[in-house]
Amino acid sequence: MKPSTRSASIADRLGFGRFGQRGTAGASIPAQVAFEDVHVDYGVTRALDGVSLVVEPGELVCLLGHSGCGKTTLLRVASGIETPTAGRVMLDGREVSGQAAFVPPEARGIGLMFQDYALFPHMTILENVLFGLKSLPKADALASATRALSRVGLERLSGEHPHVLSGGEQQRVALARAIAPRPGVLLMDEPFSNLDRRLRDTIREETVAILRETGATTIVVTHDPEEAMRIADRIVLMRAGRVVQEGPAEAIYRRPADLFAARFFCDFNEVEGVVRRGAVETPIGRFPAPGLAEGEGAIVCVRPQAIRLRAPGFCLPGRIVARRFLGEVDLVHVAVQGLDAPLQGRCRDGLRAGEGQDVGVDVDPAEVLVFATHRH
Ligand SMILES: Nc1ncnc2c1ncn2[C@@H]1O[C@H](COP(=O)(O)OP(=O)(O)OP(=O)(O)O)[C@@H](O)[C@H]1O
């Protein structure tokens, strides 16, 4: 692709339009973003199927979900790069996409950051950051760009081109470019997924600290539940173009709305059973089943950390079929009579029984969830 064409397409992706019209010298004032029953159809594909969501000023929300569930489309709708088929988007109570109005991306005061960083390859780092500040007087633009670069610790690389930078440095340039115009809203699409594991935790923490400092309302797309739990004030879990559940990390983890939401956050042992006299009967015991009817089929979801090993003769009889040392915990597979597959436990300490040995298996009821089978 020729540089000029490529620049134009990057500029479009960033919501700057071809000539980079955004830019403000004022402080970042966080905005409220509200989606009202937003639908997006691509031909026969329904990418968004009635999303309603309010992101409060200064809040950091993670959109979490499997590939293709509509996360990126929701960001594109917020930025104005995509128009909804139905429904509307409001910024601070003002309609920016809908039947009544359409505010173009460059006039929304929204910053964008992508997984691939979308840096202009033929421009220096400073020019990349200046690109979104073209409507400011030159001296103000330079001051804002330099401030943003120094905030991410990269002022010394201002004159370099993106290709000489490491992945982590490129990520920080993209962040500097996104925050330099002090947007009220920042939209980030998988901003950490191109970093290697070693760097990711540090850069993620630094980025969140910078976001808190700028105060911008931030929506981050991720498919990694742990990442969402680490950074989000609120997680919005999506499936097939809809919001399945939203709330703080602990609430979703402890009280998932359904089996799908539960599975997203934990690799459960799933054991089927039937409700008898108010509890699910399974080969590993009886578990309370509030809200389920007598005779109804149920799935008992046992977290790996719920499995505790005891001396043989105590609790449920089992036999270790595999044991792997993982550092902080041991991964243990234990066969129990009546189950097709061994239970998988993550055991911190306790009995040091090895492969082939008989054990007692204790299941912590606090780490068990029960769902009706037919409702999924
Ligand atoms: N421009 C397009 N034309 C046609 N279909 C599209 C287009 N963009 C997205 N889709 C479809 O819409 C659905 C939602 O896509 P979207 O990119 O929003 O999902 P996502 O959750 O962000 O996925 P990923 O995590 O893989 O990026 C998918 O089925 C996708 O194939």
Q: Alpha-carbon dihedral of residues 243, 247, 248, 250, nearest 10 degrees? A: -90
Whether 72 is in the pocket of ligand 1, judged by its Cβ within 6 Å, is yes
Whether 242 is in the pocket of ligand 1, judged by its Cβ within 6 Å, is no
Per-residue confidence in pLDDT tens, the chain, 376 aa = 444 455 667 777 777 654 444 544 445 688 999 999 999 999 999 999 999 999 999 999 999 999 999 999 999 999 999 999 999 999 999 999 998 899 999 889 899 998 888 899 999 999 999 998 988 899 999 999 999 999 899 999 999 999 999 999 999 999 999 999 999 999 999 999 888 888 888 889 999 999 998 889 999 999 999 999 999 999 999 999 999 999 999 999 999 999 999 999 999 999 999 999 989 999 999 999 988 999 999 999 999 999 999 988 888 999 999 999 888 888 999 999 989 999 999 987 666 778 889 999 999 999 999 999 876 5
Q: CB-based burial of residue 340 (10 Å sphere; 0-12 exposed, 13-18 middle, 19+ buried)? A: exposed
Contact at 8 Å (CB) between 308 and 350? yes
Q: How far apart are CA 270 and CA 46, in angstroms?
A: 31
Helices (runs of H) and strands (runs of E) counted in the chain: 9, 20
- Collapsing DSSP to helix, strand or coil, 245 comes out as strand
Q: How far apart are CA 69 and CA 183, in angstroms?
A: 27
* The domains spanning 3-259 and 268-372 adopt the same CATH topology: no
Residue owning tokens 């979490």: 64
Amino acid occupying residue 283: P
Q: What are the φ/ψ torsions at residue 85 (nearest 5 degrees)?
A: -70, -35
Superfamily of domain 268-372 in CATH is Nucleic acid-binding proteins (2.40.50.140)
Superfamily of domain 3-259 in CATH is P-loop containing nucleotide triphosphate hydrolases (3.40.50.300)
Q: What is the residue with the minimal CA distance to atom 18 of ligand 1?
A: 70
Distance 240 CA to ligand 1 centre (A): 10
Tokens of 1: 């692709």
- For residue 75, give the ligand 1 atom closest to its CA: 18
- The ipTM is 0.96
Residue owning tokens 């009280």: 255
Looking at the chain, how many residues does it have?
376
Whether 13 is in the pocket of ligand 1, judged by its Cβ within 6 Å, is no
Q: Where are the domains of the chain?
A: 3-259, 268-372
Residue to probe by mutation, ligand 1, list 39, 51, 71, most atoms within 8 Å of CB: 71
pTM, rounded to two decimals: 0.89
